[in-house]
Each structure stands twice: as structure tokens, then as C-alpha cells.
Amino acid sequence: MSPSLEEPSRPKAVVELKGVEKRFAAFTALRRMDLTIREGEFFTLLGPSGCGKTTTLRLIAGFDLPSEGQILIAGQDVSNIPAHLRPVHTVFQNYALFPHMTVLDNVAFPLTVRRIGRAERLERARAALDLVQMGSFAARKPSQLSGGQQQRVALARALVNEPRVLLLDEPLGALDLKLRKEMQAELKAMQRRLGITFVFVTHDQEEALSMSDRIALMKSGEIVQLDTPTGLYDRPANAYVADFIGETNMIPARVISQEGDVTLVEAMGTRLRVSGNHGHVAGAEVQMAIRPERVSDDMRETENSAEGVLADVEFIGTDLRMVYRMTDGSRVVMRQQNSGRAVPQLGETRRLGFRQQDLRLFGR
Ligand SMILES: Nc1ncnc2c1ncn2[C@@H]1O[C@H](COP(=O)(O)OP(=O)(O)OP(=O)(O)O)[C@@H](O)[C@H]1O
Ligand SMILES: [Mg+2]
């Protein structure tokens, strides 16, 4: 058996940032960023407002130049290539459709810029509209469309050039929740079908988790963790990531000792075992993290337990979200599927289980 035949071929890098820094006067918006985006992946830049997501996209698109470092697209340094000649296309949050043009002319417009003949232009525009299921709206003006339909037209206009990379800056930000969910599914399906690399920007972690192959979580101009959605969720690199992605209980704890690959800690008025040698010294004050859905009242298979009083219950349809006050005063959220079991009474004391592999420790 030839091993080279068995190995999956490594996806090629399509966008590379090498030591890219962006300064606006004295302010550093991006700090020595290294990033490789692979051919055909759905890649997301995620982070709070002002962390540098749009700045990163603008550099890739060529609307701005880096203060330092290098940007490569398909292996080629694009420093001296103007925006309109780069094999990328940007979709902005506000679509920016031309109000006086029909849908079809809007979509054909990028081809006009590239001096492609009228017949071919219209044919390609129609094909792009069909791709986003907007073929029957070709003759309308943008003002005669809903927000979601306008968004689809903006996408068709981006696809008509058959870009190698599509850059999308919060493209669903203006849509209401239901439409946003629908468009998320559609966008993802379209990306799979076309095999185009998507670089998607959002500050919505749920959106990022549900759509992306990989996510770069950013903070103040830097990538804090670059990982798959499950990697970010299950193996956050630090407390910032654990807190930003999903809901996390952060419980104050003190390290007692390390025993092989288990760390013994004191928290919630008791002693607990935590998987992994975290390298914290005895006596260190740390944060112990656990996801609400991993807290359990089933004591089988749990090494650890602690008592708490039920302080609050929230009914969220599929789930119950219960807040427990532990004996040391710390707060623990537990999430349970709404299986029709009796809801515990407020003020009731309960024993909660914490499996050692579900606990993580972070420095304070
Ligand atoms: N042209 C500019 N001049 C000066 N500062 C700028 C300029 N463009 C962006 N910045 C600053 O750089 C930082 C990053 O901005 P950026 O637009 O990339 O944030 P973002 O992550 O896209 O945020 P949001 O989620 O709010 O869109 C911000 O602090 C912003 O004020
Ligand atoms: Mg932005």
C-alpha cells in the first residue's frame, strides 16, 4: 500500500497574511497577524466590535494597505495589485445596490466594469440570479424587494465575477432573526455547492459556530485562538475564549495539588478533581470553567459533586436553565433538556455533579 495515495491532499492556502500590521496614526488596529486561509473553506473572523475584523477584510480586498507585512492570494504577493484586479469580491452589510438599476443590471454591473459584451453580461447575470433563486425578480428595482431578497441580489452580484474568494462583512446584520437563520443555511449550502472560499465576518458567536469550517477569534487586533467550532467550544485556550463562545460558568477555585494528570482544587466549598496537569502551583487562585450543559444532577460517572440551592429557573422551550447558589456563594448555571420531568422548586437544595474531564482551569 502506498502511503502517499492514502494521505488526503492538503488543501492549498488561498489567502495568507504574514506578519501583517495595520496602524492608523498612533493606533494599532492589527498587530503582527499571521493567518492562512485554505482553498474552499468557510473561514470566519469573529470578535467584539472594534477588534479589527473589517480592517482585516479591507486589507485582503485591497481597499487598504498594511503598514507592515505581506498579503498573498493564491501564492502571489498582492501588495501592488489594486482592489479591482484582485481575485476577491466583497459583500458589505448594507448591500449597496444601485437603486435606479434593475436587479439584473445590478448583478451585471461588475461585468460592465470589466468590459464584457452585453449578451454575455446578461447571460452571466441571469445565471448568478438563478444561483440565489432570484431569477424571477430580474426586472424589479431594489426598492421593490425585501431585505433578504436584496441580500441575495448583492450575493449574486458578488458571484457573477466568479471570485476565488468571497469576503463577507456582516452580510446578514441587517436582517431580522428568522430571515437571518434562513440566509445562514442558504449561504452555507451555496458555499458548499460552489466550493468558493468564504471569509466571513461576524460578531455573533452562534452564527460563527453554525456556519464555519474554522474560526479566528479576535481581540484588540490579535487572533486569540484559531480553531474549528468544536475546538473553540470544547477546548478554549483561555478564559476570554471560554467566555466569548457560548455560556460558561467561571467558578473561583484554589489549587491544592497536582497528582499525575489530575489537579486537585478547592471550589464551591468542597474539593474537586480536574483532568489535566495545568501547571498551576499549589495555592494558586484560578478560574474553574464548566459549560452549563455539562453540569448534571445524575451522580453516576461523576468524580465530583457539590451542593447548591436553586435560586432561579428559566424556561427556554427545549431547555431549562437553572441557577444554583453554592455553599461558598459562587453561582452555577445548569442547563438541562426539557424532558418533561418535574422542575425542582426554588429554594430546594440539590447535589450537582461535575465530571473531571468537563472542568477546565484558567489563571486569574
Ligand atoms: N480609517 C481609520 N482610522 C482610524 N482608526 C480606524 C480606521 N478604521 C478603523 N479604525 C479603528 O480600528 C479598530 C478596528 O476597526 P474595525 O472596523 O476593523 O473593527 P471591527 O472588528 O470590524 O468592528 P465592528 O464589529 O464594530 O464592525 C477600531 O478601533 C477602529 O476605530
Ligand atoms: Mg466591522
136 Cβ neighbours under 8 A, 6+ residues apart: none
Nearest protein CA to atom 6 of ligand 1, as residue: 24
Least confident of 102-111, 245-254, 318-327, 338-347: 338-347
pLDDT at 352 over 90: yes
Mean pLDDT of 144-150: 88
Mean pLDDT of 282-295: 95
Of 20, 24, 44, which is best to mutate to test ligand 1, by the most ligand atoms within 8 angstroms of its C-beta?
Answer: 24
Confidence of residue 187 (pLDDT cuts 50, 70, 90): confident
User: What percentage of the chain reaches a pLDDT higher than 90?
Assistant: 70
What values do phi and psi take at 73, rounded to 5?
Answer: -125, 125
> Is 11-242 a domain of CATH 3.40.50.300?
yes
pLDDT value for 364: 81
- DSSP label at 281? P
pLDDT value for 340: 82
Confidence of residue 186 (pLDDT cuts 50, 70, 90): confident
pLDDT value for 140: 96
Instruction: Give distance in angstroms: CA of 17 to centre of ligand 1.
Output: 18
Confidence of residue 8 (pLDDT cuts 50, 70, 90): low
Indicate whether residue 52 lines ligand 1 (CB < 6 A): yes
Grid cell 487562585 in the structure block, residue:
285
pLDDT digits 0-9 by tens, 59-74:
999 999 999 999 999 9
Shortest-distance atom of ligand 1 to CA 203: 25
State the cell numbers at 284: 494558586
Grid cell 484554589 in the structure block, residue:
254
pLDDT value for 9: 63
> Is 247-363 a domain of CATH 2.40.50.140?
yes
pLDDT value for 80: 87
User: What percentage of the chain reaches a pLDDT higher than 70?
Assistant: 96
Mean pLDDT of 246-252: 94
Can you tell me whether residue 152 is helix, strand or coil? Answer: helix
Ligand at minimal distance from the CA of 63 is: 1
Indicate whether residue 33 lines ligand 1 (CB < 6 A): no
Shortest-distance atom of ligand 1 to CA 51: 21
Instruction: Give distance in angstroms: CA of 189 to centre of ligand 2.
Output: 24
Indicate whether residue 58 lines ligand 1 (CB < 6 A): no
pLDDT value for 3: 44
Average pLDDT for the chain = 91
Instruction: Give distance in angstroms: CA of 51 to centre of ligand 1.
Output: 7
pLDDT value for 95: 67
Residue with the larger pLDDT of the pair 353 and 11 = 353
pLDDT value for 4: 46
Nearest protein CA to atom 19 of ligand 1, as residue: 50
Can you tell me whether residue 103 is helix, strand or coil? Answer: helix
Confidence of residue 232 (pLDDT cuts 50, 70, 90): very high
Shortest-distance atom of ligand 1 to CA 201: 22
Indicate whether residue 27 lines ligand 1 (CB < 6 A): yes
Shortest-distance atom of ligand 1 to CA 25: 4
Nearest protein CA to atom 2 of ligand 1, as residue: 24
Indicate whether residue 22 lines ligand 1 (CB < 6 A): no
278 Cβ neighbours under 8 A, 6+ residues apart: 255, 258, 263, 286, 361
pLDDT digits 0-9 by tens, 81-124:
999 889 998 887 766 799 999 999 999 998 988 788 999 999 99
Ligand at minimal distance from the CA of 47 is: 1
Nearest protein CA to atom 9 of ligand 1, as residue: 55
- DSSP label at 11? P
Nearest protein CA to atom 5 of ligand 1, as residue: 24
Indicate whether residue 26 lines ligand 1 (CB < 6 A): no
Confidence of residue 317 (pLDDT cuts 50, 70, 90): confident
Confidence of residue 1 (pLDDT cuts 50, 70, 90): very low
Indicate whether residue 202 lines ligand 1 (CB < 6 A): no
Mean pLDDT of 205-220: 96
Instruction: Give distance in angstroms: CA of 298 to centre of ligand 2.
Output: 44
pLDDT value for 10: 65
Mean pLDDT of 257-263: 91
Indicate whether residue 53 lines ligand 1 (CB < 6 A): yes
Domain boundaries of the chain, sorted by first residue: 11-242, 247-363
Instruction: Give distance in angstroms: CA of 52 to centre of ligand 1.
Output: 6
pLDDT at 218 over 50: yes
pLDDT at 55 over 60: yes
CA distance between the termini of the chain: 51
Mean pLDDT of 142-153: 89
Identify the H or E element spanning 77. Answer: strand 76-77
State the cell numbers at 86: 484582485
Distance CA 356, CA 259 (A): 13
Is the CB of residue 248 less than 8 Å from the CB of residue 289? Answer: yes
Same fold for the domain at 11-242 and the one at 247-363? no
pLDDT at 79 over 70: yes
Mean pLDDT of 160-174: 88
